[in-house]
Structure 1
């Protein structure tokens, strides 16, 4: 095979720490029916990327990372050839597949390569997938809530975003603000307060410097309608204290295997809902709704990235994918990206 059909990729062939990631050369795949091949510019790293690497044996060399951005390079049978050259953002590339975005070219179903407006950078495109879709799912699980966000869809509702400086927290703040909710975010430092405010939170509560329950309840006397929760086991008491009757907690992180215990009688009496969120296993329609809403928010200029939007970008070269994974597992504040190509 000629060198023109080869590419650089990061792979791992066994579970383990970041040391199992290896930069290698492998063939460039051809797209099959209903697929596109994307020349990857940036690969986004999420917590599930390093967690899945440490878990089950992939069974064969696997390229990590679900999210990314790039340009459509080729299309398979049945796909519009006019897509070649289109800028796209990618989601769920490595779910139940061996080919994630930490490589120069990735082949995936056309549905998972979404047009990226010229106004949006490749950095923003690579930051969208799992964080944005997780946030959208969480924000649409409230009682009598919309299935798809749009301007005004959450008007009159109060949303509490726990961990407002994280990638999902940032996405939840931006999307809830766009949809018309009053947004309260909790953070743990002045620096994170600044980031949550930059994302668009109407109120920010530093739970290390303030009594969070008292402060949130003062901001929302009738209670919070929906909590987008990053640490549900640790924050159960806070959530109970601030939820309105009929309120919902949508949690998306397991906090290293923590177990959730809730008071049954109080949850019943107040009609509270505790719902988990995982993008990979949520209904396909919910995924399509999230992609559509994110596309609309981008077009409206309501979903932004970078320091000015409260989501600093931390970029690593492809050869330093291990360091990028370590940055995410170490709790880097902002979005970690791997630059695959200029």
Structure 2
């Protein structure tokens, strides 16, 4: 099979297209013929600095494809199932930037008739967004239609992949979603994703505009730039509300006004999808799968998430695009089945 492999950390030039034997699924694992691999910021960050316990790594946490074989203890009825994959390369060498990969069976989720493009876009962004939408004291553990019908959610940076996922999931759960963006073009994307209100933070006062919509503040803030937005978030989180931070601004530090947040019993929740509690992860996988099955989440320009397709041979270019902050979702087509 063809696979992308790197044997040392570094820039995108370390990514090599190689021929490897098709891996055999071990006990509790499935072999998946990958159709589409999703690229996330975590992929280039891992490529630059994460250790290589196996001495090599195929990148790609997310993907979608068809189950080709199963290991010992796995129901053979899964063979032939279309699935989406999550955390394929987390503490494992077999990522999704390859024609085949192996994952534990619980990390291969039935996709049904949804597109492989959608399946490859679900993992990191949507599981992260789910955690951000369920970690607060006012928020439910699980999402479904109506779960957030009385809630106001603020998504800081609604045109990014996680921001888009948070908007779509929150709207699927019937929340009122307010989001911030930096341009008219990004405002169009956030509106397409389903945001109820879109605020251009370069032209409007975010605190003033959000207070018009939610005078008592918002239940949860999905935060991409905590160091930059901390003062705004502190003014907008309601009593008992939560600010859920999923990015680190390149290692920046956050300064918070303690007393106002104490008065509100506010929560600052830091989110890393890989290490979130197991129960929360299980809820996220189930809910995201349900939302996809119900057509509650989508991808593409019409969903506010433009798609950028690359071939397996062009994986290095795909990584560079993500590292340079391309707007939308970068996907690698590993076969012609997309």
Rounded to whole Å, the distance in 1 between the matches of 2:268 and 2:219 is 12
C-alpha RMSD of the superposition: 0.9
How far off its partner does 1:213 sit? Answer: 1.4
Is the 2:17–2:313 contact (alpha carbons within 8 Å) kept by the matching residues of 1?
yes
**Deviation string for 1:69-97 (max 9, x for gaps)?**
00001111111111111100000000001
Rounded to whole Å, the distance in 1 between the matches of 2:325 and 2:50 is 22
**Deviation string for 1:14-54 (max 9, x for gaps)?**
11111111111111111111110000001101111100111
**The one of 147, 159, 162 aligned to 1:153:** 147
Rounded to whole Å, the distance in 2 between the matches of 1:301 and 1:216 is 29
Matched residue, 2:207: 213
Is the 2:234–2:257 contact (alpha carbons within 8 Å) kept by the matching residues of 1?
no
Residue 110 (structure 1) aligned with residue 105 (structure 2)? yes
How far off its partner does 1:103 sit? Answer: 0.6
**The one of 227, 234, 239 aligned to 1:233:** 227
* SS of equivalent residue, structure 1 residue 235: helix
Rounded to whole Å, the distance in 1 between the matches of 2:276 and 2:211 is 31
Rounded to whole Å, the distance in 1 between the matches of 2:226 and 2:290 is 30
Is the 1:250–1:277 contact (alpha carbons within 8 Å) kept by the matching residues of 2?
yes
Rounded to whole Å, the distance in 2 between the matches of 1:214 and 1:146 is 28
Rounded to whole Å, the distance in 2 between the matches of 1:19 and 1:140 is 39
Structure 1: segments with no counterpart, 5+ residues: 1-6
Q: TM-score by structure 2 length?
A: 0.97
Matched residue, 1:178: 172
Is the 1:70–1:87 contact (alpha carbons within 8 Å) kept by the matching residues of 2?
yes
**The one of 35, 43, 49 aligned to 1:41:** 35
Residue 74 (structure 1) aligned with residue 46 (structure 2)? no
Matched residue, 2:163: 169
How far off its partner does 1:247 sit? Answer: 1.4
Structure 2: segments with no counterpart, 5+ residues: none
Matched residue, 2:129: 135
Rounded to whole Å, the distance in 1 between the matches of 2:220 and 2:138 is 11
Q: TM-score by structure 1 length?
A: 0.96
* Number of aligned residues: 335
Residue 338 (structure 1) aligned with residue 332 (structure 2)? yes
Runs of 4+ in 1 over 2 A off after TM superposition: none
How far off its partner does 1:190 sit? Answer: 0.8
Matched residue, 1:293: 287
Residue 85 (structure 1) aligned with residue 80 (structure 2)? yes
Larger mean Cα displacement after TM superposition, 36-45 or 50-59: 50-59
